Amino acid sequence: MWSLFTGLFSSYGTAIKTALLVAFVCGVFFAGWHTRDRDFTVYKLAQQAIVEKQQAENESIKKQQEVVTKGIQDEYDAKLALIRQYYANGVRQSGTSAMPGISATTKLSDAIATYNVLAEQCAITTLQVTEWQKWYEEVKKASEE
């Protein structure tokens, strides 16, 4: 019986040794792969937490900017309405109390109307610039916090 076993082992010994070596190499490979896979999974979860935190910060900043924008927009609209109302009622020109001659009346009234339109446009542009500067400073301050 023993001779049968030794004879069988000697004839299949190389194949068995090769199979054991392949199984060992596969086991080592799997252990290394599993370790790296576990580390990569931990890394992915950490990165996902960082991304979610950054998204929450971005949403917070966006909401702050929307609040600032809304407040400044409302203030701008109110000031713009006041400017338009002021110039729609007509601006009184100082120094025009003397009665002009007949030929100068049309030119003077056209000039006053033109100057009023120009003054209104300048006031609106100035308002836009100052409100934009105010908005920029508020948004910059909100994003730094």
Reported pTM: 0.51
- 76: which 2 tokens? 């701008």
Task: Tell me the per-residue pLDDT of 123-143, one tens digit each, with 9 for 90 and over.
Answer: 999 999 999 999 888 888 877
Decide: residue 126, CB within 10 A, 0-12 exposed, 13-18 middle, 19+ buried: exposed
Q: Phi and psi (nearest 5°) for 7?
A: -65, -40
Asked whether residue 49 carries a pLDDT value surpassing 80, the answer given is yes
Is 54's pLDDT higher than 90? yes
DSSP string, 37-103: HHHHHHHHHHHHHHHHHHHHHHHHHHHHHHHHHHHHHHHHHHHHHHHHHHHHS-PPPTT--SPPPHH
| Average pLDDT in the chain | 81
The model's confidence at residue 16, banded by pLDDT at 50, 70 and 90, is: confident
